[in-house]
Amino acid sequence: MVVTADHNDVLTTKATRVPRVDDGVRKLMDDMVETMFSANGVGLAAPQVNVPWRVIVLRVENQIYQLANPEMVRCEGDQTGPEGCLSVPGLVGDVTRCLRVVAKGVNRHGKEIRVKGDGLLARAIQHEIDHLDGILFTSRAVEGSLREIVKEEVPDVVTAV
């Protein structure tokens, strides 16, 4: 799979709900995880690989999360920090997000689950759900915080979500 660049309309269009998790959706999830690992990302949304479905995958602290039709259930506190995006390479900006979240969705087995997270996991969940709603992190960045980065700077910022 190839990560879609920020000029593609699929990234600014609301994604379609997945009617049910079947073998095709599971294959998509697996392919997205592989693509996320290859790109050294923290998360990936289906629109980022040119698939207009509400599917996200995340990797935080060696834990993999795969969700279809994710929705935010609870959002508490604030955190502001740097974000990047695999679909917007070379750009980073400070974004204010909820510090703690609970999201619900359907796992790869078709069961509804809830994912609780704080810090980076909370940030990644919100970032990927934004992708499903056609929102890029650049539109949420604190005014004046967007900046170009060079490859050598990447360890100093949050890995692209």
Given a contact cutoff of 8 angstroms between Cβ atoms, the answer to whether 114 and 104 are in contact is yes
Whole-structure pTM value: 0.92
pLDDT score, position 160 = 55
Secondary structure element (H or E) that encloses residue 55, with its range? strand 55-60
Q: Residue 88: what pLDDT?
A: 95
d(CA 143, CA 18): 35
Superfamily of domain 9-156: Peptide deformylase (3.90.45.10)
Tokens describing residue 72: 């935010």
34 is catalytic: no
Contact present, 55 and 19 (Cβ < 8 Å): no
Per-residue pLDDT of the chain (161 residues; tens, 9 = 90+): 999 887 889 999 999 999 999 999 999 999 999 999 999 999 999 999 999 999 999 999 999 999 999 999 999 999 999 999 999 999 999 999 999 999 999 999 999 999 999 999 999 999 999 999 999 999 999 999 999 987 655 544 555 56
| pLDDT for residue 156 | 47
Which among 126, 131, 30 has a CA at the least distance from the CA of 81?
126
In the prediction, which pLDDT does 161 show? 64
Roughly how many angstroms between the first and final C-alpha of the chain, as a whole number?
Answer: 17
What are the residue ranges spanned by the domains of the chain? 9-156
Catalytic option among 34, 83, 112, 128: 128
